[in-house]
Amino acid sequence: MSDDLDIKDKIINDALKNINFDGWTKETILTGFVSNKINVDDYDILFPNGIIDTIIHFADLSDRLMIKEFKETDYSDLRTPDKIKQLLLCRFRVLNPNKEAVRKSIACLALPKNSKFALKALYKTTDEIWRTVGDRSTDISFYTKRGILAGVYSTTKMSWLGSLDPDLSKVEEFIERRLQNVKLLGSITKPIKENLNKPFNIFNNFPFFNFNR
């Protein structure tokens, strides 16, 4: 399993330079196979759902790189919202070299047939962030926090895609405003939950238990 993960990481990493120009196609992914001297006939074995599997793996790889970069700096003295901000900034630093690949992946995930995969990837990213900052909640706030963060992350991604700022200063300002707007303070009070559940109920009818570790 670990070997397959490493192999897929190498394939996606090497294919990204082509994906940025030509999009998420079997042909662009196969360039990653060729550069790593992996049999192209293994494409259906490594990515049984085709292109959608390659996009989901890219999202998973980005999650892992985000956490790796975050842990390289000691943020233990920061409050939870500031840790979340730093994790989001790590995420966009990781994605910065491949902005066009991200843009093209969003177009693919926006197709109705791929909505389940898109939601799963979004949930996983928000869950990884909350777990990394030490969230141990098990009540309704577990889902509320992830729903709120999904809104923050998604709107920030749109802002990032439209920004020409390479050092992410404008993205950082956007994140700060969004976190302040939703009062994401580590623990969410009941009145805030009641006000925010509806706008961020993206996960309400989704089977979370399939994704929890």
- In this prediction, residue 2 has a pLDDT band, given cuts at 50, 70 and 90, of low
**pLDDT for 37:** 97
Higher pLDDT: 54 or 165? It is 54
Gap between the Cα atoms of 173 and 178, Å rounded: 9
Q: Which tens digits make up the pLDDT trace of 168-185?
A: 999 999 999 999 887 644
**pLDDT for 208:** 37
Q: Which tens digits make up the pLDDT trace of 68-120?
A: 999 999 999 999 999 999 999 999 999 999 999 999 999 999 999 999 999 99
**pLDDT for 165:** 79
Gap between the Cα atoms of 43 and 103, Å rounded: 23
Percentage of the chain lying above the pLDDT 70 cut: 85
Q: Which tens digits make up the pLDDT trace of 180-208?
A: 887 644 444 444 444 444 444 444 444 43
**pLDDT for 155:** 95
Residue 146 scores a pLDDT above 60: yes
